[in-house]
Structure 1
Amino acid sequence: MNTLRTVSRRRFLTATAVTATAAYITPRSLFAQTQQPEMVIKGRETAVKAKITTQKLRGDVSVLLGSGGNIAVLAAKEGKLLVDAGISTSRPQITEALAAINADPIRILINTHWHWDHTDGNEWVHSVGATIWAHENTRYRMSSPQHIDLFNATFPAAPVGALPTILFNPSRTISDSISTLELSHYDPAHTDTDISVHFLEADILHTGDTWFNGAYPFIDYSTGGNIDGMIAATKRNLATGTNSTTVIPGHGPVGNKQQLSDTLDMLSAIRDKVADLKKQGKSIDEVIAAKPTAQFDGKFSKGFVTPEMFTRLVYQGV
């Protein structure tokens, strides 16, 4: 039986998986947590009790919702492939959800970008036998402290066991006799580390955080993101696959091309309004007072990015 492989036939590491247990918070990891920003500490505390929901999609692909970014799962020939790892303290629930899919070990983990809510589980997933794949910028960002101005928070370098070891730029294909995955780097959008994962046979696209379904997106200018890049990424997502492609966002419910199109309309309209006001010499406070997001607030203000915050993010990039 062949393992998943790249087009170049590079073999994956296939270390024997070990059984995950709830006893994973060691004194060392507790110490490491004290060095984290408050948002990470609180996020991990909340994720301890997070409910993980499994949604079966097509072609042996499922998605786990409820802990950090959405986790795609492919039940491949010789083990599971995950896209993103969620929050570390949800390990018991994630492990249980994965076991309910099948008893196979995790062989491959793909990170869509560097942010902690998508990579916090990397270390434990690697410890049970998975090889971690990502764009080369993701390893660069994770290997050194990263400061996000919007949160006034500095994220320390990740432990060695959490770092991706299979790197690519700009794209890579993974395949076996059943499934083919295309990994493609976006130009800077949400960050400068973003990739998409397209499950070709299943016609499923994981966009990472280039799409927040039903919410205003966070754009991380501190690590390369910008509003024009988010618009370009959304256009690329719309051009990928077919009209029937199932789309897994970084956050929010699994969606479709029509919802992506609605997001594109929102991003483009707000960007143009804010740019016009800024060109007129309006200050950020004056632009916020003009409520450039008003027509979209009923549909897109359900996430943590408020209309005011999103206006500030757009203003910064135009």
Structure 2
Amino acid sequence: MSTSKTTHFLARTLSLALIGAWAGPALSEQGIVDHVNAEAAKGAVITHPLRANVSELEGSGGNITVLSGPDGKFLVDAGIALSKAAMQASLSKLGPAPVKYVANTHWHWDHSDGDAWLHEAGATIIATPQTVSHLTKASRVSDWDHTFPAVTADGVPSVRLTTDKTYTMNGESVVVHPLMASHTDGDISVYFKHADVLATGDTFWNGIYPFIDHEHGGGINGTIAAVDSYLKFVTDKTIIVPGHGAVADRKQLLEYRDMLIAVRDRVAALKHQGMTVAEVVATKPTEPFDAKWGKFIVTPELFTRLVYDGV
């Protein structure tokens, strides 16, 4: 088995293990945020080398992508603060240089909760203005039954992007790209041009139904548009790091896009017939996809409701 295939196999195996942890019986007894925090606090952060000096860290909330080298480290997402010690251990193994930049793909805690400690350690935090707006006030996600308090001053991103910005470091060109409203209203993607590695944040969940945050500007159509924008430039050689799930390739991204479109079109047709959300859920419009995509925290029923809200 090649190094690349071995890395992808290990990532998939670990992702399936995490799915079991996140979607097991304890989740019905705890809120999702408390359960995910508990898993992050006790779990290891595993490093998966991807290509050149780009790696993925898995185990602290969403997937984290790291560019390492003597110019400092560039992180895509900050993970959960309770994983700080495990994160520090994994980052130290990638070299002695400190973290110089952290790009938040969006505001959700499983991607941004580590901002404060990383900023205290010297990192500059990058985000969109919309992400900053959500982080700096109490923000409720009803589907998670959780209200997140405003972050402390150390956790507020200081660089706020509305257009593309390229960071040149460690022999790499890191392209930070603000997206139209998709998973939320303030998502970004990050492309490591020379390594040909794309970090998508939660606009892409590999092999599992995604969460879409309508309360904070997200929508199914924007999510599809974001994926379409990736498909215009990624190739069969591009390594794609999703927000959740195993490291992917273009074929898996295309399968995800096609699933989104199929479910969106089914739900939209039923809604336009005048059916209520409960009636649409009862028809099980996702059923052809559930065996593959419906085994994580976003159930077929919840995904149907999320799509219904956006069509």
Relative to the length of structure 2, the TM-score reads 0.88
What are structure 1's unaligned runs of at least 5 residues?
1-36
Residue of 56, 78, 83 corresponding to 1:85: 78
Q: Does 1:153 align with 2:146?
A: yes
* Cα drift, residue 40 of structure 1: 3.5
Q: Secondary structure at the match of 2:279?
A: helix
SS at structure 2 position matched to 1:292: coil
User: Across the two proteins, how many residue pairs are aligned to each other?
Assistant: 282
Q: 1:249 aligns with which of 226, 232, 242?
A: 242
Matches within 5 A, 1:58-137: 58-137=51-130
Does 2:163 match 1:166?
Answer: no
Q: Is the 8 A contact 2:106 2:184 kept in 1?
A: yes
Q: Is the 8 A contact 2:201 2:242 kept in 1?
A: yes
Aligned to 1:278: 271
1:218 to 195, 206, 211: 211
Q: 5+ unaligned residues in a row in structure 2: which ranges?
A: 1-29
SS of equivalent residue, structure 2 residue 245: coil
Q: 1:177 to 1:83 in 2, by over 3 A?
A: closer
Tell me the TM-score normalized by structure 1.
Answer: 0.86
AA of the residue aligned to 1:196: S
Post-superposition shift, 1:77? 3.1
Distance between the aligned counterparts of 1:292 and 1:143, measured in 2? Answer: 37
Query: In the alignment, is the contact (CA less than 8 A) between 2:135 and 2:150 conserved in 1?
Result: yes
Helix, strand or coil: the match of 1:228? helix
**CA contact 2:71–2:170 (8 Å) conserved in 1:** no
SS at match of 1:211: strand
Deviation (angstroms), 1:282? 1.4
Which residue number in structure 2 is paired with residue 15 of structure 1? none
1:302 matched to 2:285? The reply is no
Structure number with bigger Rg: 1
Instruction: Report if aligned partners of 1:214, 1:302 keep a CA contact under 8 Å in 2.
Output: no
The code of the aligned residue for 2:96 comes to: A
SS at match of 2:183: coil
2:84 corresponds to 1:54: no
1:170 deviation in Å?
Answer: 2.2
Q: State the distance in 1 between where 2:131 and 2:180 align.
A: 13
* Alignment counterpart, residue 40 of structure 1, candidates 26, 33, 38: 33
Distance 2:70 2:92 in 1: 16
1:73 counterpart SS class: strand
Q: CA contact under 8 A between 1:113 and 1:195: conserved in structure 2?
A: yes
Check the 8 A contact 2:31/2:145 in 1, yes or no: no
What is the alpha-carbon distance in structure 2 between the residues aligned to residue 43 and residue 152 of structure 1? 14
Residue in 1 that maps onto 2:192: 199
Is the 1:131–1:166 contact (alpha carbons within 8 Å) kept by the matching residues of 2?
yes
Paired residue secondary structure (2:298):
coil
CA 1:38–1:298: 2 relative to 1, 3 Å: closer
Identity over aligned residues, as a percent?
A: 44
Distance across 2 between alignment mates of 1:241 and 1:270? 24
Q: Please say if residues 83 and 111 of structure 1, whose CA atoms lie closer than 8 Å, have aligned partners that are also in contact.
A: yes
Q: Distance in 2 between matches of 1:311 and 1:133?
A: 33
- The separation in 2 between residues aligned to 1:177 and 1:124, in whole angstroms, is 23
